[in-house]
């Protein structure tokens, strides 16, 4: 292992710059392919149904593509680092470095450290931006499809749920006034939560309308019925609420469309409302593991590229590195499915794949470098 002295040597800077250049090239190629595929898909799904200009389709593509590109960033580091070190090996620069006594650890870890830093930037800056753009794409595409000739705006019932440690309230309404946020044709189902966490039905309330005010639902022409008791009518009835209009009607975004910084508070809100937040916890852990995955892919690619060109099996090593990268990608998908189905805890499902990549990379690197 190298002993760091606070700054990179000339050799380490040279290898780092070559690696970053190759990673940028891989990012450009993968991004171009993704944007081309997204443009064709949007042109078919939206452009074929709505009269939208080419510039409008391109704008939709620019909103949609960043979130997809971020999902494939591990492959960017795999392909980019692989290309950089294969190029160094082909020009015998790695041979010269190692003949001069430079350990492979010294020029691999700066590249891995850069991947780690990029991973932190990805989850703290790029992920929120990509999530916001994806939300804009969803809103814009839905608006375009709803204005298509002959298509009436979709109407559906409104569901709202609130809860605390003692009660859970499920609200169903036939209609919502978008200007006043007043609900019409309201049914409320109220449950109590016991000490064992079990929810028991307590009462049901039917109301002509309901309006959410600070701290309560204000019901009009309500009729309340509890289990085994006679129904009681009220001209007005107030039901305590811990919701605000924004939280009540915003809905829960999909886990992959939720920005990193919003996930902790959203998890608390979902669990307080009585829903399972397993998928959101899994998404949070996956984002936290992203820097490690980037660094692991970088080390894995470099370790497969250290074998001498003259030994003749470099093409096999390159193909093996790419194949192993895809194996770990499918392993990540499998772990995600197990985490979402609650077979594995979210933290285990998110961290097992990058840890396996790190262990595999270090094992191969130690075998190649130290014999």
pLDDT in tens, 3-52: 444 456 777 788 888 889 999 999 999 999 999 999 999 888 887 777 77
| Domain-embedded: residue 112 | yes
Let me know: does 331 contact 271? Beta carbons within 8 Å. no
| Domain-embedded: residue 160 | no
- Whether 53 and 107 map to the same domain: the answer is yes
| Domain-embedded: residue 260 | no
What pLDDT was estimated at residue 308? 53
| Domain-embedded: residue 127 | yes
Backbone angles phi, psi at 195, to 5 degrees: -65, -25
- Whether 178 and 114 map to the same domain: the answer is no
Q: What is the pTM of this model?
A: 0.74
- Whether 115 and 187 map to the same domain: the answer is no
Give the 3-state secondary structure of the chain: CCCCCCCCCHHHHHHHHHHHHHHHHHHHHHHHHHHHHHHHHHHHHHHCCCCCCHHHHHHHHHHHHHHHHHHCHHHHHHHHHHHHHHHHHHCCHHHHHHHCCCCHHHHHHHHHHHHHHHHHHHHHHHHHHHHHHHHHHHHHHHHHHHCCCCCCCCCCCEEEEEECCCEEEEEEEEEECCCCCCEEEEEEEEEEECCCCCEEEEEEEEEEEEEEECCEEEEEEEEEEECCCCCEEEEEEEEECCCCHHHHHCCCCCHHHCCHHHHHHHHHHHHHCCCCCHHHHHHHHHHHCHHHHHHHHHHHHHHHCCCCHHHCCHHHHHHHHHHHHHHHHHHHHHHHHHHHCCCCCHHHHHHHHHHHHHHHHHHHHHHHHHC
Stretch among 75-84, 189-198, 302-311 having the lowest mean pLDDT:
302-311
Name the residue with higher pLDDT: 103 or 187: 187
Would you place residue 151 in the very low, low, confident or very high pLDDT band (cuts 50, 70, 90)? Answer: very low
- Whether 185 and 285 map to the same domain: the answer is no
What pLDDT was estimated at residue 116? 92
Domain boundary (241, 259, 286) is at 241
- Whether 85 and 21 map to the same domain: the answer is yes
- Whether 220 and 347 map to the same domain: the answer is no
- Whether 73 and 218 map to the same domain: the answer is no
What pLDDT was estimated at residue 274? 63
Domain boundary (241, 264, 298) is at 241
Mean pLDDT in residue range 126-153: 74
In the chain, how many domains are there?
2
Q: Which domain holds residue 365?
A: 10-148+278-370
| Domain-embedded: residue 110 | yes
């Amino acid at each position: 292992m190298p002993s760091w002295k606070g700054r990179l040597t000339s050799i380490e800077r040279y290898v780092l710059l070559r690696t970053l250049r190759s990673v940028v090239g891989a990012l450009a190629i993968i991004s171009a392919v993704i944007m081309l595929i997204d443009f064709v898909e949007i042109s078919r799904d939206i452009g074929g149904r709505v009269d939208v200009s080419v510039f409008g389709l391109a704008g939709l593509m620019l909103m949609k593509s960043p979130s997809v590109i971020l999902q494939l960033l591990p492959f960017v580091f795999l392909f980019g680092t692989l290309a950089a070190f294969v190029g160094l090996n082909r020009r015998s620069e790695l041979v010269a470095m190692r003949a001069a006594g430079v350990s492979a650890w010294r020029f691999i870890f700066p590249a891995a450290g850069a991947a780690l830093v990029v991973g932190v930037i990805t989850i703290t800056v790029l992920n929120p931006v990509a999530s916001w753009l994806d939300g804009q794409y969803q809103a814009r595409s839905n608006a375009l499809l709803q204005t298509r000739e002959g298509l009436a705006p979709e109407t559906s019932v409104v569901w709202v749920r609130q809860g605390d440690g003692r009660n859970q309230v499920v609200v169903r309404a036939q209609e919502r006034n978008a200007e006043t946020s007043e609900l019409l044709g309201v049914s409320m189902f109220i449950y109590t939560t016991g000490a064992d966490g079990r929810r028991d039905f307590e009462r049901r309330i039917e109301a002509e309308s309901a309006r959410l005010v600070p701290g309560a639902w204000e019901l009009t022409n309500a009729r309340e019925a509890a289990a085994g008791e006679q129904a009681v009518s009220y001209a007005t009835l107030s039901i305590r609420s811990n919701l605000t209009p924004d939280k009540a009607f915003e809905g829960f975004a999909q886990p992959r469309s939720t920005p990193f910084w919003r996930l902790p508070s959203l998890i608390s809100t979902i669990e307080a409302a009585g829903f399972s937040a397993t998928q959101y916890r899994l998404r949070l852990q996956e984002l936290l593991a992203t820097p490690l995955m980037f660094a692991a892919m970088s080390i894995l690619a470099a370790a497969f590229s250290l074998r001498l060109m003259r030994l003749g099996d470099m093409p096999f090593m390159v193909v093996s590195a790419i194949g192993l990268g895809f194996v770990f990608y499918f392993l990540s998908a499998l772990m995600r499915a197990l985490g979402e189905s609650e077979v594995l805890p979210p933290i285990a499902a998110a961290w097992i794949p990058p840890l396996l990549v790190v262990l595999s990379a270090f094992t191969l690197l130690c075998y190649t470098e130290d014999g």
